[in-house]
Structure 1
Amino acid sequence: MKHDSYVMPDVQSIREAFAEASSFLAGHGLTEPQRSSQLLLEHVLGLSGAAYYMALADPFPLARKADWEALVTRRAAGEPVQYITREQEFYGRAFEVTPDVLIPRPETELLVEAILKYGAELWPDGLAGGRGEAAHPLTAVDIGAGSGAISVTLAAEAPAWRVCAGDISPGALAVARRNAQRHGTAVDLRLGDLLEPFAGVETDILVSNPPYIPGGDIAGLQREVRDHEPRTALDGGGDGLDPYRRMMEQLPLLPAPPRLVGFELGQGQAGQVAGLLRAAGHWDEIITIDDLAGIPRHVLGIARR
C-alpha cells in the first residue's frame, strides 16, 4: 500500500477539492473516503452542517491548501479522521478525542440509553437508599472512562446522579476531564485498574465498555484501529473476557453489588458475559441488547427486588 503525500491539483471549487481527495483516499483502500473528505474539509475550513454545503461552489481558499494536503496525507496513511480533527460526536455532543483514547462508537450510545432508561425505572426520583438507609443521590460508576463519552453523557442527561469514572491511563483521564469541563458536567475521575479506585464507594449503577478484543485477533483488525487506537483499550486478554471476569471478582470491593450493571462487548461474547452475570447471582433479570447491525452488543443485569 503506497503512502505518498497528497498534492492537491489545481482545483477551482471546494466541491472539486472534496471529489479529488475522495478519489485519492479511495485509491488508498480507505473505508468511507467521501465521509473522511467531508469531515476533514469541514475541519480545515471551519465550517459545518448547512454552511459547508452552501460553500461547496465557492473557490477553495489557497491559504488552506498546505493544511488540507497535510490532513489528506495523514488520512491516506490510515490515521483515523477523529484523531486528525480531534473530535467525535456522541449522543449529540462533540467530544475531544486523542490517540490516548478509543474513538467513541455509535453503538455505545445504545448502552447509555439503556442505562438511563433502567436507571429511571429503578430510581424514579434519582435517589438511592430505602430499606432503612437514608436516601442519597444515585451513584453511577463508569469503568474504562476513555474520552468520557459514557460518564459525561450520563452526567449531562441525568444531572441528579453522582457520576464517577475510572481509567488505568492518565492520558485518557486528562481527555475525559477536558470533556467533562467542556459540557459543564461534574464527573469524579479516578486513576486505577477497573473497580480498584472505587473500593468502598456506594455504587448503584456499574457501566463499562472495557477492552474486549481477544489478544490474538488484534493483528487482523482494520489498520485504523490496529495501528492508531490505544492497545490497552482494545486487548481483553486471551478470549477477550478478562476485564468482565475481573470486574465480577472485584465486586466485593464495593459495599454492595450495584442494582444495575451494563456492559458493552464484542461479537459472539454476549452468551458468556450474560453467563458471568448469572453466575454472580446478584441480578434477577439479564437483558441482551442488539446494536443497529443486529449483533448482540450489550448485556445488562438488573436487580428489581
Structure 2
Amino acid sequence: MDKVWTILDLLKWAAEDFKKRGIETARLDAEVLLAEALGLKRMDLYLRFEQSPAAEGLDRFRELVRRRRGREPVAHILGRREFHSLELCCPAGRFIPRPETEVLVDEAVARLKTLPAGRVPTVLDLCAGAGAVGLAVAKSAPTARVVLVDVDPTAGEVVDENIRRLGLADRADFRAGDLFSPVAGATFDAIVANPPYIPSAEIGGLMPEVSVHEPRLALDGGPDGLDVVRRLLGEAAQFLAPGGWLLFEVGEGQAESAAALPAPGLTHEANRADIRGCLRVVIFRRA
C-alpha cells in the first residue's frame, strides 16, 4: 500500500532532502514551496500537520521540490519576491532583490522628505533590474516621480508588470539604456542604484542560485567590483539637481573604497549599514 503523506511528512522529507544538498534554508524553503503547492499560507501548514493533501497538491509539490533540488532560487520558482513590504514579479533569469538593499530605499526616502513642501521629488533608479528600489521609493514617497533604467531592454517587461501591479503607472516609467544615456539633459533630486559590484573572479565561487540562475550582467562589477560605481561617481553630478543625492549599494568591505573614489561635483555624505550591520549604502551629495 502506498504511504499516506501528511503535511508534516512532506515538510520533513523536503527539508531533509534540501539539507543533504547543501541548501542552507532547507526548512524554510520546504514550507514556502509546500504552502505554494497547496494554495495555503505558511502559518496554515502548522494548523494542518496531520492532514493529507490531495494528489494534485502532492504532484505540484514534487515538481517544486525537483526545481529547488537543482538550486533554482525560490523566488524564481514562485515568480515573485517580497521587498520592502511589496510583492514584486521576479521570473526566472532575473536578479532577485535582497532584504539588505532595503536600507537604500529608506535612506533615499528620508532625504526626499527634507525637500521643500509642495515640491514633487524626482528620482532616477539605475541598474533597476525588476524595479525593486525605485518602485519601493515611489510607494514610500507618494508624490515622487521615478524613472527606472536598465541596460537590459528585456528588464522592461518585468518593471512594467511591477509598475502595473503596484498602481504606479502615473508616477513611474522604464527606459532601456546604459546608465545615464536614456535621461540626457534631465536632473533629479535623488539617484539610486544597486549596481553590479561582485569582483569578476569571485562570481564562479558563489552559490549556484546566484552564479547560475541570476544574470551575470547584474553581478559582475569588474576586477575589483567597482567598475560601474566609478562611472556613477564620474557622471552623476550633471544629472542631479542642486543639493541632490546619489545613493548606491556596495558589497561587503567596499564602502570605504567607494567613498574615496573621485566624484567630481559631489561630496561624500555618509555610509549606512544594512540589517546585518554591514556598510551597504554609500551616499554623496551635489552642492
Normalising by structure 2, we get a TM-score of: 0.93
Match of residue 219, structure 1, among 204, 216, 227: 204
Matched with 2:221 is: 236
- Listed as ranges, the matches of 1:81-120 within 5 Å are 81-120=74-113
The aligned amino acid for 2:200 is G
User: What percent identity do the matched residue pairs reach?
Assistant: 36
Superposition pairs of residues 254-269 of structure 1, within 5 angstroms? 254=239, 256=241, 259-269=244-254
Tell me which residue corresponds to 2:48: 55
Q: CA deviation at 1:230?
A: 0.7
Could you report, residue by residue, the CA deviation over 1:217-253 in whole angstroms, capped at 9, with x for unpaired residues?
1111111100111110000111111111112233365
Counterpart for residue 152 of structure 2: 169
CA shift for structure 1 position 56 = 3.0
* In the alignment, structure 1 residue 280 sits paired with structure 2 residue 272: no
Q: Aligned pairs, how many?
A: 284
What is the alpha-carbon root mean square deviation over aligned residues? 1.9
Q: Unmatched 5+ residue regions in structure 1?
A: 1-8, 128-136
Q: Deviations over 1:172-221 (max 9, x none)?
A: 22111101110101312100011111111121100000100011111111
**Matching residue within 108, 131, 139 for 2:122:** 139
Query: How far, CA to CA, are the matches of 2:240 and 2:47 in structure 1?
Result: 57
In structure 1, what is the Cα distance between the partners aligned to 2:99 and 2:203? 21
Q: Residue 42 in 1 paired to residue 48 in 2?
A: no
TM-score, L = length of structure 1: 0.87
The aligned runs of 1:172-191 (5 Å cut-off) are 172-186=155-169, 187-191=172-176
SS in 1 for 2:154: helix
**Equivalent residue letter for 2:164:** Q
Q: d(CA) in 1 for partners of 2:35 and 2:243?
A: 43
Q: Quick one: structure 1 residues 226 and 51, their matched pair in 2 at CA, closer, same or farther if it must change by over 3 Å?
A: same
Encode CA deviations 1:8-56: one digit per residue, 9 max, x unaligned.
Answer: x834311211111100111111111001111111111111144343333
Change (3 A) 1:276 1:257: farther
What is the aligned partner in structure 1 of residue 233 from structure 2? 248
In the alignment, which residue of structure 1 is the partner of 2:117?
A: 125
1:289 to 249, 259, 272: 272
Query: Which one-letter code corresponds to 2:245 in the other structure?
Result: L
List per-residue Cα deviations over 1:77-102 (Å, max 9, x = no partner). 11111100111111111111023421
Q: How far apart in 2 are the matches of 1:272 and 1:44? A: 45
Gaps of 5+ in 2: none
